[in-house]
Structure 1
Amino acid sequence: MKSILYIEDDLEIGKWVKDDLEARGYKVNWLVSGEKAMSFINDVDLAVLDIMLPGLDGFTIGQRLKKERAEVPILLLSARTAVDDKLQGLQFADDYLTKPFHPEELAARIEVLLRRFGHNLKQEIQLGHIKVLLNENRMIDGRTGKELILTGKQYQIFMFLLKHPNQILTKEQIYEAVWGEPYLEGDKTLMVHIRYLREKIEENPSAPTIIETIRGIGYRIKL
């Protein structure tokens, strides 16, 4: 049974969404605020977040969840229809649904995200000599059999790239997803972190084959 973290402060909407999803065979952990969201993240397959919440908003909660488990898909719900809001949400989230919505559409989007992430991110991925064990949050060097130890930011960068296989991601996208703040043109922070990350995972860091540089744009991991 797939488990969903659902955060919605409107009790009427929250109840019918929870009841509908449970009738479709999902386990639903429904919260009315984001204060305890992080305590559920290790046990869910997908998160559905309302943006307008008391205390922490859906943007903040979603970014924190992604930093902790980049492989968990996030679907944002909002009454906001402005393009800027959608673009802000899609910097880290995987889908965006505007209220009011039909339960069939929500269910369909959830199914698509679960299929996509289940297909793209298997529990074990081989990248050259590196074996990534997603369910254990570990990386093994196949040449030595030893675990590769990454810093928190290195792991978040790597997982964000891995979550978007074969997709060219800009420096802005990566920085804002990992650090949760606007990217300033000319900032070398991301570049420095990727250099140190490559020194740990690439056979030849000066000629990387796992994390590719797309000159003038950003980076990509090819599967």
Structure 2
Amino acid sequence: MRILLVEDDRETADYITRGFREAGHVVDHAANGQDGLMLATDAAYDALIIDRMLPGLDGYRLLSMLRAGGTTTPAIFLTAVGGIDDRVNGLEIAEDYLVKPFAFAELQARIGVMTREKFTTPAEDSEYTAGDLTLNRLKRTVERGGEPIPVQPTEFRLLEFLLRHKGHVVTRTMLLENVWDFNFDPKTNIVETHVSRLRAKVDRGFGRELIRTVRGAGYIIDDDA
């Protein structure tokens, strides 16, 4: 899927762009309304993500001009303005309206509804396994080969999330939102540090590594690691 993001806040733009690119989508970014208008009229997109308050040409005027020109691409407004009147006006020309701050997972889900792109989340079980590794959510225990492994609460949540998505690549953005509840990129190596610590506990000394790094994408855990 190809997405156009028109957002003047650099941190927000970087976070959204990273999240969708990690999920395998193409994202073009414009930092102001004029550039967004130019990109939207020069290329075909599957979805538009537009900040309502933009320098020069604001998001409402931008989308109004695109609609007047015949553009029917599904669009969602991002804004810190959440009044009823603002929402109603925005929804007259856009398919959706999301108030800041927001979770990337919610934005992704709303884009999925707009474009009928399916973003699935695995159902929760009481116990997860990968090879000879077992995590029990109810007992809050981790074992490998029948040997108990002591883990810290954050390490438990990290391992649980990896196991819930066994066989699929888990991106850094997904981990930041679901393990640390960060709706932004803190620009630290917090994910890498905790994955390294977790590996030292569940992989080291067991002869076979279950947690693997997928370069440029994220991490994966599966039975065939």
TM-score norm. by structure 2 comes to 0.49
Higher relative contact order (CA 8 A, sep 6+): 2
TM-score by length of 1: 0.49
Give the greater-gyration-radius structure (CA). 2
